[in-house]
Amino acid sequence: MRKPASQRKHPRTEKPAAEKPVALTVKIDSKTYVRLSTLRAKERKTAQQILTEALTAYLDGTGA
């Protein structure tokens, strides 16, 4: 039986397992959210880009 088109995997468009992003929910206070939103607009970056850069810098700094 053939899978519906929406469930078929396309080898050229799939990322290797190590590169697939994992969803993470973070709850922040409204003041921090406004600051992040302001920075997003100013830097023309997504919240995901900003948070990933910040988290990577933090983890690198701690040697994790």
55, two tokens: 């988290």
Query: Which residue in 17, 14, 21 sits closest to 52, CA to CA?
Result: 21
Statement: residue 4 has pLDDT above 90? no
Tell me whether residue 46 is in a domain.
yes
Query: Which residue in 21, 9, 29 sits closest to 55, CA to CA?
Result: 21
Tell me whether residue 22 is in a domain.
no
Q: What pLDDT sits at residue 59?
A: 97
- What is the per-residue pLDDT across 9-63, written as a single tens digit (0 to 9) for each? 666 666 666 788 899 999 999 999 999 999 999 999 999 999 999 999 999 999 9
Q: What pLDDT sits at residue 54?
A: 97
Tell me whether residue 49 is in a domain.
yes
Tell me whether residue 63 is in a domain.
yes
The number of distinct structural domains making up the chain is 1
Tell me whether residue 40 is in a domain.
yes
CB-CB contact of 34 with 24 (8 Å): no
CB-CB contact of 40 with 52 (8 Å): no
Tell me whether residue 32 is in a domain.
yes
**Residues 27, 24: Cα–Cα separation, whole Å:** 10
Containing domain of residue 47, as a range? 28-64
Q: What pLDDT sits at residue 18?
A: 74
